[in-house]
Chain A
Amino acid sequence: MSDAAIQCHELGKRYRIGERQPYLALRDLLATAWTAPLRALNGKGHRSAKRAKEYLWALRNTSFEVDRGQVVGLIGRNGAGKSTLLKILARVTRPTEGWAEIRGRIGSLLEVGTGFHPELTGRENVFLSGAILGMSHAEILRKFDEIVAFSEVEKFIDTPLKYYSSGMGLRLAFSVAAHLEPEVLLVDEVLAVGDLNFQKKCISKMGEIAQGGLTIIFVSHQMNQIRRLCERVLWIECGGILRDGSSGDVVTAYESAMSSGSYETTPGARGAQSRFYRWGIRESPLDHSNHLTTMGPVTVVFSLRVNEPVRGVQPDVGLVDRENRVMWAGSGATIDLEPGEHELEIMLPTLPLRPGSYRWWAGLSRAHGWVELWDCHPEMIVATDVYQHPNEKCSSVLNMPHEIAIHQVKGVICS
């Protein structure tokens, strides 16, 4: 048996699209039931295709372990799956597949002031919120004075919460949470609120706890916080772990990938008889095949659907960066294409790009112009290690691992 505090094995969570949006109304259900026989007549294929589209994997095939006492940051863009992962670990929602095991008392702070009620006084809210967070009555009684002192709102402790300033409410809420004494703490971006001084106090309180062997999983968009608090960082993208490593490395890679703006989208010149519709990097996991994590070799595959025979075209592929500079481009020999599914494959021995986002194009051309041109979607995210000169003025286009050494090849030079 492993010694990990948190163990996740192939965790996955599937949502029905729209599930989190407007709730279902009974009348919708009745309406669907009413038309069901009609839809059945329309043929089964149509229905099952529709059904597959209604689901979305917010998290998939996610496995990792966290050692006791480790402070781990979760980073990634909005909707990448960080919060879903945290919610599963906090037991707010259940996974669709896989399992996780947590050893130790769990404290979860997905929000500041969970269970606070504006009509109740500060004192009453401490007891209520403490109980909801998982403290026993005796425990709250024992820590009550300490909680109130930490929050710095002693004077107003018997005033209803609705008369508190938002800062005071937050301080009281965090004080309750900071005295949970869990063994595994799950924190979702809660430190992003409140005044700066109190933030510092909370962070040092959390750091204090961590010295005592507390395991923390921490979601934040503030890279400074992540750098300061976490030793290890998981970068989540498209529902999976993209990178897992020391916080310095992963945060640097993430920041340079995110500093890119979005592309100006040109629709390309879409063909009538033939169309590219999908692309992916073969070495990457299936669910986020637009992520490049190695220097190479790299195989990129573009799927092409041909409806009518296409004669005498040249495949044309290229890669541009966010400033539309061409990083690499190539074209193949003239060919004829028969109707059906095709795959255009390019093999590159290495693709030493700086972390960031790039966009592929894939096309079929004739002498007088494009038969088909696709500005590939989604863009390619490069999330490799960073090998750049320490001086920013010398930062380079290519990003390659290197060794620099000086060898003495001759003895004393005689004059």
Chain B
Amino acid sequence: MATAGTRQLHGATFAGERVRITPPAGWFDLELKALWKARELLYFFVWRDIKIRYKQTAIGAAWAVLQPFLTMVVFSLFFGKLAKIPSHGLPYPVFYYSALLPWTYFATSMQAATSTIVDNQRVITKIYFPRLLLPISAVFSGVVDFLISFVLLLGIMLYYRMIPTLAAVWLPALLLLALLTALGVGLWLSALNAIYRDVRYVVPFLVQFWMFASPVAYPASLVPERWRWLYALNPLTGVIEGFRWALTGQGEAPDRMLAASTVAVLALLAGGLIYFRRIETTMADVV
């Protein structure tokens, strides 16, 4: 019987995939397996973000460098030359640029992650894929800009006849911490932004406040000793001080700060993941 034959044939392929569609249930159903299966799509999203960002721009990737560079010039002039803020004895351009590098990466990635759900509204309402890929790809695609502006940092250091210390091997770990922070905040804000569009007005303020709560324009040593523990809960404190230390060897290794930061990031990330997953089930209905 021909029909019976084909049925069996398909039976074999059917054993492979089976999808069960149910109402959303449980807080801890993170579907990380689906996320892993869709990792190729993550690559495509990152690739798309990078490709599109500099299409039809006059100076292309130079934008990645321009923003931290100009900020560095302004900071060196006003906070450095005029306000005479202590800088671990570093030349102001190195002091500020080494902080603005991770800071700019964090701030732009966090902002990109926040708007990613709303930006991809059309795709979200038309096809299924793990929505988590969107904020994740947003924080990954910022890494390219980071690497480009990192090259300029090496240039600035060479100009001042400095070379990165051996501690620079810690840089990838510090960058990862900045990435996870941006993702943790981005998960919260992108999900909130899908429901409450006011969030996008809040984010610029958040970025501004956060910068002054991080040792970008000043060294962490200016903060009184007894408030340091609270200060260290801001993951960017450890990251930025870590960058300065790893690159120049000046200041002290922020190991205790980093431990506190890591704990704070993991809590932020876990909460963000759970909240995002909770919103994800109805994202297509509300976005």
Which A residues fall within an 8 A CB radius of B?
3, 5, 15, 19-20, 23-27, 29, 68-69, 87-106, 108, 110-111, 114-115, 117, 119-120, 124, 127-128, 131-134, 136-137, 160, 183, 213
Q: Are B127 and A26 in contact (CB under 8 A)?
A: no
**Bound-state Cα–Cα, A132 to B40, Å:** 10
Q: Which 3 A-B pairs have the closest CB atoms?
A: A91-B128, A26-B198, A131-B44
17 extra interface residue pairs, beta carbon distance < 8 Å, beyond A89-B21, A114-B123, A115-B123: A23-B196, A25-B198, A26-B198, A68-B10, A91-B19, A92-B127, A92-B284, A94-B22, A99-B21, A101-B18, A101-B20, A102-B21, A106-B19, A110-B126, A160-B55, A183-B13, A183-B17
| Given known A-B contacts A102-B21, A117-B52, A137-B40, A90 and B198 have beta carbons under 8 A apart | no
Q: Which residues of B contact A19 (CB under 8 A)?
A: 285-286
Are A24 and B20 in touch, CB under 8 angstroms? no
* List of A residues within 8 angstroms of B36 by Cβ: none
Give complex CA distance A105, B123 in Å.
19
By the criterion CB–CB under 8 Å, are B19 and A132 in contact?
no
Residue pair B56, A119 in contact (C-beta under 8 Å): yes
- A-B contacts, 24 listed (Cβ < 8 Å): A3-B7, A19-B285, A25-B197, A69-B10, A89-B21, A94-B23, A94-B281, A97-B23, A99-B21, A100-B21, A101-B19, A110-B127, A111-B126, A114-B127, A115-B123, A115-B127, A117-B48, A119-B51, A119-B56, A124-B51, A132-B123, A137-B43, A183-B13, A213-B6
Q: Which residues on the A side are within 8 Å of B287 (C-beta)?
A: 23
B125 contact set on A, CB distance < 8 A: 92
Q: How far, in whole Å, are A20 and B284 apart by their CA atoms in the complex?
A: 9
Contact of A103 among B18, B51, B127, B129 (CB under 8 A): B18
Chain A residues with CB under 8 Å of B21's CB are 88-89, 91, 94-95, 99-102
Q: How far is the CB of B7 from chain A (nearest CB, A)?
A: 7
B91 at the interface (CB under 8 A from A): no
Q: Which residues of B contact A183 (CB under 8 A)?
A: 10, 13-14, 17
Which residues of chain B from 157 to 177 have a CB within 8 Å of any chain A CB? none
Interface size on B, residues (CB 8 A): 43
A138 to chain B, nearest CB (A): 9
Give the residues in chain A near B13, CB-CB below 8 Å: 104, 183
What are the residues of chain B within 8 A of A213 when measuring CB–CB?
A: 6, 10
- Min CB distance A204 to B, Å, is 21
Residue of chain A at shortest CB distance from B19: A102
Interface residue? B152 (CB, 8 A):
no
B195 at the interface (CB under 8 A from A): yes
Q: Who on chain A is nearest to B18 by CB?
A: A103
User: Is B24 at the interface (CB under 8 A from chain A)?
Assistant: yes
Q: What distance in Å separates the Cβ of A379 from its nearest Cβ neighbour in chain B? A: 30
Chain A residues positioned under 8 Å from B17 (CB to CB): 103-106, 183
Q: Could you tell me the distance in whole angstroms from the C-beta of A85 to the nearest C-beta in chain B?
A: 11
Complex Cα gap A3–B3 (Å): 13
Q: For residue B52, give the distance in angstroms from its CB to the closest CB of chain A.
A: 5
At the interface, yes or no: B199 with Cβ under 8 Å from chain A? Answer: yes
Is residue B41 within 8 Å, beta carbon to beta carbon, of the partner chain? yes
Q: For residue B194, give the distance in angstroms from its CB to the closest CB of chain A.
A: 8
Q: Is B282 an interface residue (CB 8 A)?
A: yes
A24 & B196 in contact (Cβ 8 Å cutoff): yes
A184 smallest CB distance to B (angstroms)? 9
A183 to B10 alpha-carbon distance, docked (Å): 9
CB <8 Å contact, B196 and A25: yes
**Judging by beta carbons under 8 Å apart, are A68 and B7 in contact?**
yes
A105 to B18, CA, bound (A): 8
A105 surroundings in chain B (CB, below 8 A):
16-17
CA distance A28 to B52 in the complex (A): 35
A131 near B52: Cβ-Cβ < 8 Å: no
Interface residues of B in 86-129 (CB under 8 A from A): 122-129
Find out whether the CB atom of A128 lies under 8 angstroms from the CB atom of B48: yes
A110 to B129, CA, bound (A): 14
| Nearest opposing residue in chain A for B124, CB measure | A92
Please determine whether A108 and B22 come into contact, CB atoms closer than 8 angstroms.
Answer: no
CB distance from B177 to the nearest CB of A (A): 29
- Chain A residue numbers with a CB within 8 Å of B52 are 117, 119-120
Chain B residue numbers with a CB within 8 Å of A69 are 10
Assess A90 versus B128: contact at CB under 8 Å? Given A24-B195, A117-B48, A131-B44: yes
A160 to chain B: which residues have CB within 8 Å?
55
A23 with B41: CB separation less than 8 A: no
A residues in contact with B18, CB < 8 Å:
101-103
B165 to nearest A CB, angstroms? 40
Check A128–B44 contact: CB distance below 8 A. Answer: yes
Cβ-defined contact, B128 with A92, below 8 A? yes
Q: How far is the CB of B53 from chain A (nearest CB, A)?
A: 10
Identify the interface centre among B6, B16, B20, B21: most chain A CB within 10 Å of its CB.
B21
Chain B residues, CB < 8 A from A26 = 196, 198-199
Please report the C-alpha to C-alpha distance between residue A137 and residue B198 in the assembled complex, in whole angstroms.
38
Max chain A C-beta neighbours (<10 A), residue from B10, B22, B127, B199: B127
